[in-house]
């Protein structure tokens, strides 16, 4: 992690030393201009790979505590050279199945879930060099749900022993996220950067549900409670991002 962060700092330091070159040798502008479109995506995986190549450790993790989910798509439309409208979108589905021996039984665990984030925002930019600061806010709508089912069978006979299925209930969130960051244009209209965030939001989660069955007995279902939350949170380095302008 230290080498990973050192590499990021080195990139920005290099940017400061070369920040006066705003036009390439081919006459291309480095910085975004009014009318440009841009797409931004998470680059944590790239930085993890770079960190692994330096120290041979496969457990390097790029920092990530952003309320917006990993791999969210961020689109931008620059209305002037210094500010842009933002569109945020992410829709993910996941499932996994794992088996493991538990005593005389074999336990199979299935996980499924989905995660949605959508929002609109505005961004303002500062700086006259290739090293640019930016700040702004996004209005966000989020939704997610997940379930876990554990089924135990007799390892020898394959007979059903028991099962437990837990459903989280649908969670809905509405909030405003402020962001602050910086990026350096390493090529014309191609930037690498990092972003900090702070969110104020209201979240609701529907009642959870747990269904249990043992042997040939009828299954039983237990409802959990609902929850709501209003608060602040998710402060820190959100992600390392790559942004393309065109």
Q: What is the CATH number of the domain that holds 69?
A: 2.40.160.20
For 201, phi then psi, to 5°, come to -160, 170
User: Which of left, alpha, beta for 9 (phi over 0: left; psi -120 to 50: alpha)?
Assistant: alpha
Q: How far apart are CA 206 and CA 24, in angstroms?
A: 54
Determine, yes or no, domain membership for 12.
Answer: yes
What is the C-alpha to C-alpha distance for residues 136 and 86, in angstroms, rounded to an integer? 10
Tokens of 56: 């041979």
Q: Is 6 domain-assigned?
A: yes
DSSP, collapsed to helix, strand or coil, labels residue 18 as coil
Alpha helices of 85-127 — where are they, by DSSP H? none
- Domain-embedded: residue 121: yes
| Other Cβ atoms closer than 10 A to 235 | 14
Is 34 a domain residue?
yes
Q: Say what the pLDDT of residue 54 is.
A: 45
- The DSSP secondary-structure symbol of 225 reads -
- Please calculate the CA angle 191-15-236 and round it to the nearest 5 degrees: 65
Predicted confidence at residue 86, as pLDDT, reads 96
Q: What are the tokens at 62?
A: 């790029």
pLDDT value at position 131? 95
State the pLDDT at residue 163: 97
Is 176 within a domain? yes
- Residue ranges of the alpha helices (H) in the chain? 2-17, 44-55
Domain with 13 in it: 2-89+113-143+167-200+228-245
Which pLDDT value is given to residue 115? 87
Residue with tokens 């005389």: 104
Looking at the domain assignment, is residue 222 inside a domain?
no
**Which of 140, 24, 138, 22 is CA-nearest to residue 81?**
22
Query: DSSP state, 19?
Result: T
**Is 76 in contact with 37 (CB distance < 8 Å)?**
yes
Number of structural domains the chain divides into:
1
Give the burial string for 56-67 (b: 16+ CB within 10 Å, else e).
Answer: eeeebebbeebb
The confidence score (pLDDT) of residue 233 equals 62
pLDDT at 6: 46
pLDDT tens, N- to C-terminus, the chain (246 residues): 444 444 454 544 554 445 457 998 889 999 999 999 999 987 654 444 444 444 454 444 433 333 344 457 899 999 999 999 999 988 888 899 999 999 999 999 999 998 888 999 999 999 999 999 999 999 999 999 999 999 999 999 999 999 999 999 999 999 998 999 999 999 999 999 988 888 889 999 999 999 999 999 999 999 998 999 887 765 555 667 889 999
Residue 51 lies in a domain: yes
The pLDDT assigned to 32 comes to: 95
CA distance 188 to 229: 44
Can you give the pLDDT at residue 41? 82
Residue at 104 is within a domain: no
Given a contact cutoff of 8 angstroms between Cβ atoms, the answer to whether 40 and 89 are in contact is no
Lookup result for tokens 């920092």: 63
Q: What phi, psi does 130 have (nearest 5°)? A: -70, -15
Total Cβ atoms within 10 A of residue 120: 13
- The structure tokens listed for 17 are 């030393």
| pLDDT value for 71 | 54
């Amino acid at each position: 992690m230290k080498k990973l962060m050192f590499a990021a700092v080195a990139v920005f330091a290099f940017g400061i030393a070369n920040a006066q070159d705003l036009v390439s040798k081919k006459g291309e502008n480095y910085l975004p201009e009014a009318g440009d479109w841009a797409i931004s995506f998470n680059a944590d995986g790239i930085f993890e790979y770079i960190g692994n190549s330096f120290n041979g450790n496969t457990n390097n993790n790029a920092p990530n505590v952003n309320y917006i989910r990993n791999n969210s798509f961020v689109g931008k439309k620059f209305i002037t050279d210094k500010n842009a409208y933002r569109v945020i979108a992410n829709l993910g589905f996941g499932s996994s199945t794992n088996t493991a021996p538990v005593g005389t039984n074999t336990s199979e665990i299935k996980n499924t879930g989905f995660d949605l984030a959508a929002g609109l925002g505005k961004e303002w930019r500062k700086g006259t060099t290739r090293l640019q600061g930016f700040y702004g806010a996004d209005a966000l709508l989020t939704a997610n749900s997940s379930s876990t089912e554990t089924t135990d069978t007799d390892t020898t006979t394959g007979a059903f022993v028991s099962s437990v299925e837990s459903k989280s209930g649908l969670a809905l969130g509405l909030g405003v996220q402020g962001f602050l960051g910086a990026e350096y244009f390493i090529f014309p209209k191609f930037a690498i950067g990092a972003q900090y965030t702070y969110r104020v939001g209201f979240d609701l989660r529907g009642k959870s549900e747990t269904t249990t069955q043992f042997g040939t007995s009828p299954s039983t279902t237990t409802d959990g409670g609902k929850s709501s939350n209003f608060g602040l949170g998710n402060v820190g380095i959100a992600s390392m991002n790559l942004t393309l302008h065109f």
